[in-house]
Chain A
């Protein structure tokens, strides 16, 4: 079984004082049969990493290899194992039909016509594209266009699959289809690298998650281990904007965000339910006007927010 191994990857845009280190010593290990989610805020280097792994972007340092193949030295062999959806629906020809796109891209990757036809039919059934196989892609819904792009990337049975924001702009049904497909691809033996801002997707499909900040991996492990990084229990307190400053002073470890109503949302984690309750009680005693309190298990989103905010973890994730 092969693996995508990225070691100390570095990508710098610009020179001198204006140089920007988009990726700064990022390392990943993604064996076949595994789904790895790359999480990070905008500009953290996720897409740059995926583009480097797809060999459409040159990097300045480090190494990339899949199944021992370096894309710089064995580009053709590396690419024959790779499938990628990088720009979603923009990756397919809108003036061709769904089937025509699938067979065209399969041909570009060296597949025979008969094999491509069979594979297109198989993927159409799997992705729910059968009713639209003969429709021009330009006339399809956004969700179906995205599915066609995914099908095109899967035609040649890639061993390494790179999916950059595969559910961006999709409706619930289409997200569900992608969500059930990704683990199935890994079960078929593919190594799948997914980037997304959709925490539910990442949590549902990934065996491993790597959190990226400023071009480097700051934490990685299974979704469960990342969730537990900052404690076993979570507390979320929603307060009006007028009470936000007092709350910040009281809970220096909490991650603050704003909701659409202008309220401040403070999220924090605690080792036990009792500790979480004590925190809530302290807020109440201080007389801060509280709009809402929620006690529960920490989500991946909680852990992610804490990690990118630079909060110290209680232990290293595995």
Chain B
């Protein structure tokens, strides 16, 4: 246990160090995320008016913020593995007695903490510039996002597995990172087929919380968590299968 904590602390230390050292990268990301959101909201104001505009604004803004969490989670896990395989450090990561999956999940948790600060900043800035008009359910919405994120981590693990065994998978990774905005926007509420997609149950509930419309059954948090951990388990299985293949074919150091 002591060794595990030390390894996780080392990972956290490296993450903070790189964040601090490449601060401009994070600042530029925050600026672009704010800019895109404000532009989308202004465009919505121009295209529609009244209740329709208000609903569309809410859907777009909440889906976009939910997507930022999902996007950065995928990047932390799958892009992290892609980078390390390309650079040649993945083999050393693999030699850690702790195992790769706990390290990747630590990265995802650290990324969540960072993204929480980023999204709060985006929320405040976009609200000041374009008036988001969210209700008081921001905290509750974040709770739903957090409950649903393990599902995205599962997707990240599955993608990381693909990255291990497929060469030149960078463009696939980029496309999937943007495609997950669909998961943040699909109507996962009320319960239906869409609710079982990764992340959609939590993102839909977060949207409802931000609209102040309530409407989530009392068992929804439990359902969101169960769906998320189901997808996490799926991602873990895909990762293990890809890892076994990569170990058989000597693919850890390919670039």
CA gap between A79 and B91 in the complex, in Å:
12
Q: Report yes or no: A79 in contact with B252, Cβ–Cβ below 8 A.
A: no
CA gap between A305 and B88 in the complex, in Å:
32
Q: Report yes or no: A94 in contact with B97, Cβ–Cβ below 8 A.
A: no
Q: Report yes or no: B92 in contact with A152, Cβ–Cβ below 8 A.
A: yes
A-B contact count (CB 8 A): 98
The interface bits of chain B over 93-109 (1 if a CB of A lies within 8 angstroms of the residue's CB, else 0) are: 11111110001000000
A90-B87, A96-B17, A103-B10 known; A108 and B247 CB under 8 Å? Answer: no
- Closest Cβ–Cβ distance, residue B140 to chain A (whole Å): 36
Stretch at the interface among A81-89, A183-191, A211-219, A263-271: A81-89
B window 200-255: CB within 8 A of A:
244, 247-250, 252-253
Specify which chain B residues have a CB less than 8 angstroms from the CB of A92 in the assembled complex.
89, 92
CA gap between A270 and B80 in the complex, in Å:
58
CA gap between A79 and B22 in the complex, in Å:
32
Q: Report yes or no: A58 in contact with B103, Cβ–Cβ below 8 A.
A: no
Where chain B touches its partner, the secondary structure class is helix
Q: Report yes or no: B10 in contact with A87, Cβ–Cβ below 8 A.
A: no
Q: Report yes or no: A93 in contact with B89, Cβ–Cβ below 8 A.
A: yes
A77-B97, A100-B14 known; A108 and B7 CB under 8 Å? Answer: yes
Specify which chain B residues have a CB less than 8 angstroms from the CB of A91 in the assembled complex.
88-89, 91-92
- Closest Cβ–Cβ distance, residue A111 to chain B (whole Å): 7
A125 at the binding interface (Cβ < 8 Å): no
Which residue in A54, A76, A90, A152 is a CB contact (below 8 Å) of B97?
A76
Using C-beta atoms within 8 Å of the partner chain, give the interface range for chain A.
35 or more
A window 106-157: CB within 8 A of B:
106-113, 152
The interface bits of chain A over 30-55 (1 if a CB of B lies within 8 angstroms of the residue's CB, else 0) are: 00000000000000000010010011
Q: Report yes or no: A82 in contact with B248, Cβ–Cβ below 8 A.
A: no
Q: Report yes or no: B97 in contact with A105, Cβ–Cβ below 8 A.
A: no
B45 at the binding interface (Cβ < 8 Å): no
Q: Report yes or no: A13 in contact with B249, Cβ–Cβ below 8 A.
A: yes
A90-B87, A104-B13, A107-B10 known; A79 and B95 CB under 8 Å? Answer: yes
A200 at the binding interface (Cβ < 8 Å): no
Specify which chain B residues have a CB less than 8 angstroms from the CB of A84 in the assembled complex.
91-92, 95
Select from chain B the residue with minimum beta-carbon distance to A14: B249
- Closest Cβ–Cβ distance, residue B192 to chain A (whole Å): 43
A91-B88, A109-B96 known; A104 and B247 CB under 8 Å? Answer: no
A27 at the binding interface (Cβ < 8 Å): no
CA gap between A200 and B36 in the complex, in Å:
61
Report 28 cross-chain contacts, Cβ distance below 8 Å, ordered by A residue: A13-B250, A51-B250, A56-B91, A57-B247, A58-B244, A75-B97, A79-B95, A79-B97, A80-B97, A87-B88, A91-B88, A96-B17, A96-B18, A100-B17, A104-B10, A105-B92, A108-B7, A108-B10, A108-B92, A108-B93, A108-B98, A108-B103, A110-B2, A110-B3, A110-B6, A110-B97, A110-B98, A111-B6
